[in-house]
Chains A and B, each alone.
Chain A
Amino acid sequence: MLVFIFMGVTITFASDGTKIDTGATAWMLTSTALVLLMIPGLAMFYGGLVRSKNVLGTIMHSFVAMGIISVLWVAVGYSMSFGKNVLGGIFGWNSDYFFLKGIDTNILEAGVPEYVFSMFQGKFAIITPALIAGAFAERVTFKAYCIFIALWSLLVYNPLCHWVWASDGFLYNLGARGAIDFAGGTVVHISAGVSGLVAALFLGSRRGYPYQVIRPNNLVITMLGAGLLWVGWFGFNAGSSISSGLSTAQALTATQVAAASGALAWIIIESSHQGKATVLGFASGILAGLVAVTPAAGVVQPYGAMILGVLASVACYMAIQVKNRLGYDDSLDAFGIHGIGGITGAIFLIFFIRRSWMVEAGTAHGGSWTILNQLGVQALAVVIAIAFAALMTFVIIYFLNKVVKFKASEADEMAGLDRSYHGERGYGMLNPS
């Protein structure tokens, strides 16, 4: 409301009389654009980490998600995620949301046009399957990938999103004030990370992994991508307040602090373990911190976010060491960062919840609500997300693989995704890597 007075903006009335909060709407429009910016960011982050023969194919994994998932989201995704419970609450449905045809003049209670909210949520739906691509980079056919992310979005993302974020979702209503997942720790990061792990295990490793050293083709692109992800994450987390006010500011601050402490923690761990502070390590720490604070951004204060960032880097760093021991090929550490970081954030946030939140939870519960009570809720949400994502991903890949070969043939893999599936090359005459 301060924004209104300060800027002297006149209040707009929509056809049904609900006021548009122009301040909140402006921020939500900005956030929507910022979250979309994360997808080219992710394309660059992943694109730099693969070999030069796969750079375009890997970038395309992110970009094609913008096409496929946007279309699906408008058609049925928003309805499945934010419609009323159907089939016992497995997902939602609202015929007004089918092709968004009935929300032309809708304005949410928050004073934001429903179009803005649905597009904002659509960006989350896009980035989540794109994250999975990191786990099976450099070795899948383009056609099967496209079908996979479409099915995954319909069968994993939309139901999970409905459970956690729709007002009648069962995880939203668990315990006193629901499972805490402010901006997508379970919905986005745990589900993508776990699905990536299942896919990587199912498909097997890249040719030559781990004996042949597979190096990033361009860490400069990777760092630019990591930078864009950090910037975009302000839309991701601070936008998830669906307002432009105090909770937005709280989320924004927590996001910045966790990214910074995660990045610093990573290079400290790495330089004491390996002797050098790598640039990729710093980027990994940024992501670990951001992923961990994603579920927590609405309920933790800056000191809590700082500790979460550190914990996430410790956990993710150890997870990657374990991966190297076990030898499975989670190529770009989709599980190592997003899966482990998401779980760390969703569980450990309970120690840093703002006092006022706990008091309100206690009142809502009709008495007291303790950290341990909330731990139970968080753990249940995490376990459900893991189990559901793992099972469904396995089912999708198992049946998809019968129809369209998911893993690239040996010849295609050696030639590279760029040449095999796109008929193009990413770079001119750089030396092979």
Chain B
Amino acid sequence: MKLITAIIREVQLDRVREALIHAEITRITVSRVSGHGQQRIEEMYRGQRIVPDLIPKIKIEIAVNEAFVDITVDTILKSAKTNGKEGYVGDGKIFITPLEECIRIRTGERGGSAI
């Protein structure tokens, strides 16, 4: 089991969600986060351009069995790029971490079947 954590642009959330649902990956957790990577963005404040230190991003977390790791990663890679092909600085990152255990609270099931 792996935990796939993707940090993506806010504006790409709809596309990524749709692509994941299309790939039949529906069990996900989404949260709004802010962070600092390579990217710089500008916002407007009373006629002044400002560059915030922390940029708002979306974090997606998906716990998957080994067989689904590749398809999940491929789907996110394809759908989270800004222009579909080359992408721009700030499109985000994907982290994959080993997942020790997964427990369904309702039944107490453990392991792969609980995902």
On A, residues with C-beta under 8 Å from B are 53, 207-208, 411, 414-416, 419, 422-425, 429-432
Contact = CB atoms under 8 A, between A and B. Distances in A.
B15 interface: yes
Contacts of A416: 11
Contact of B11 (A208, A414, A422): A414
Given A423-B43, A424-B44, A429 B15 contact: no
Contact of A423 (B13, B34, B44): B44
Contact of B14 (A207, A419, A424): A207
Nearest to A430: B32
Contacts of B12: 414
Interface string B4-32: 00000011111100100000000000111
B56 interface: yes
Contact of A431 (B11, B14, B18, B32): B32
Contacts of B13: 432
A432 B32 contact: yes
A432 B11 CA distance: 11
A207 B14 CA distance: 10
Nearest to A429: B32
A417 to B, nearest CB: 12
Nearest to A53: B10
Contact of A419 (B11, B30, B32): B11
A423 B44 CA distance: 6
Contacts of B58: 432
5 contacts: A53-B10, A419-B11, A424-B43, A430-B32, A432-B13
Contacts of B15: 414
Contacts of B18: 208
Contacts of A430: 32
A431 B31 contact: yes
Contact of B34 (A53, A207, A429): A429
Nearest to A419: B11
Contacts of B31: 431
A432 B10 contact: yes
A415 B11 contact: yes
Contacts of A419: 11
Nearest to A414: B14
Interface residues of B, number: 16
Contacts of A423: 42-44
Contacts of A432: 10, 13, 30, 32, 58
Nearest to B17: A212
Nearest to B82: A411
B80 to A, nearest CB: 12
A371 to B, nearest CB: 54
A346 B30 CA distance: 48
Nearest to B42: A423
A24 B34 CA distance: 56
Contacts of A207: 14
B90 to A, nearest CB: 13
Contacts of A431: 30-32
Interface in B26-76: 30-32, 34, 42-44, 56, 58
Nearest to B9: A415
* Interface-central residue, A207, A208, A415, A424, by most chain B CB under 10 Å: A415
Contacts of B43: 423-425
B44 A208 contact: no
A411 B11 CA distance: 8
B97 to A, nearest CB: 23
A425 B12 CA distance: 16
A177 B84 CA distance: 64
A208 B30 CA distance: 19
A414 B84 CA distance: 14
Nearest to A415: B11
A415 B12 CA distance: 8
A233 to B, nearest CB: 34
Given A411-B11, A425-B43, A432-B10, 9 more contacts: A53-B10, A208-B14, A416-B11, A419-B11, A422-B44, A423-B42, A430-B32, A431-B31, A432-B58
B56 A429 contact: yes
A425 B44 CA distance: 10
Contacts of A429: 32, 34, 56
Contacts of A53: 10
A424 B52 CA distance: 12
Contacts of B10: 53, 415, 432
Contacts of A424: 43-44
B83 to A, nearest CB: 9
A53 B11 CA distance: 9
* Interface-central residue, B14, B32, B58, by most chain A CB under 10 Å: B14
A422 B42 CA distance: 12
Contacts of B32: 429-432
A207 to B, nearest CB: 7
A416 B13 CA distance: 11
